[in-house]
Amino acid sequence: MLRIVSAFAAAALFAGPVLATVAIPGLVNSGQTAGGSVSTGTVVDANWVLAGGTAWNSTSINSRWLANNATSRWLTPASNGNESFDPAADGVYTYSLSFDLTGFAADTAAFTGRFAVDNQVTQILLNGTPISQAGPGSFNNWSGFSADSGFLGGLNTLAFTVRNFRQNGGNPTGLRVEFLSSTIEPLGNGNAVPEPASWAMLIAGFGLVGAAARRRHPALQFS
């Protein structure tokens, strides 16, 4: 019996700490500032960038698009979000977001999100690798996307490639992104403090060891 409870206590003592998951740092919605609020007015987006151009959060967007709100805003290639583009040929716009996972276990990361777009998203890349997406999307409904692999231990880049169809006029383009959930575990270290469950297991183990020892070695009797 003593061997059993001793093994139990040892397991409790040497069990690694239970590390809590946290939200992935740096994953921010389009139109969201680093502090978590949403931008106001017509401004350059604080986190998302447009390859070869500037990603704007505009107060002027097409009336058929999902309306900007306190959660996210549209990214557009011009300060006037309703400006017409690509009259002679399809246009391609790549919007990207970078986030740093230094200090975190990249293989534990996962996120889900949704996007709206005019006209369509042709691919979503995480560090150059395609991730899952629910169709090309539209400007008046949300489409889903997610990833649970392909993360790096340092700088990561999430990129959306947007295709805008050629038209003679009245042809704005934009992208809007929201993250619905994300989780990642911090990297463990030798100074990590055990979670309450680990402490309880440890105390219970030593209690059982003490009780077994008392039963095995009764107190000496003196005459």
The full DSSP string for 144-211 is: EEEESS---SSEEEEEEEEEE---SS----EEEEEEEEEEEEEPP-TTPPPPHHHHHHHHHHHHHHHH
Q: Range of 100's domain?
A: 43-186
Question: Which of 171, 134, 127, 167 lies closest to 149, judged by CA?
Answer: 127
pLDDT band at 19 (very low <50, low <70, confident <90, very high): low
Q: What is the pLDDT of residue 212?
A: 47
Could you tell me the pTM of the whole model?
0.78
Give me the amino acid identity at 73: R
What pLDDT does residue 198 have? Answer: 45
Asked if the model's pLDDT at residue 24 lies above 50, the reply is: yes
* 123 and 100, same domain (yes or no): yes
**Does residue 139 fall inside a structural domain?**
yes
**Could you tell me the pLDDT band of residue 98, with boundaries at 50, 70 and 90?**
very high
The pLDDT confidence band at residue 66, using thresholds 50, 70 and 90, is: very high
> 163 and 127, same structural domain?
yes
- More confidently predicted of 146 and 217: 146
159 shares its domain with 208: no
Residues 169 and 113 in one domain: yes
Q: Is pLDDT at 15 greater than 70 in this prediction?
A: no
CA torsion through residues 186, 189, 193, 198, sign: positive
In a domain, 111, yes or no: yes
Residue 219 has pLDDT above 50, yes or no: no
Query: How many domains does one find in the chain?
Result: 2
Rounded mean pLDDT, 68-97: 96
**DSSP reduced 3-state for 128:** coil
Confidence (pLDDT) at 88: 84
Report the pLDDT averaged over residues 134-153. 97
Query: Taking residues 123-133, what's their average pLDDT?
Result: 98
pLDDT digit string, tens, across residues 170-214: 899 999 999 999 999 999 843 344 445 543 443 444 444 344 444
pLDDT of residue 18: 54
What's the CATH number where 89 sits?
A: 2.60.120
- Could you tell me if 135 and 202 lie in one domain? no
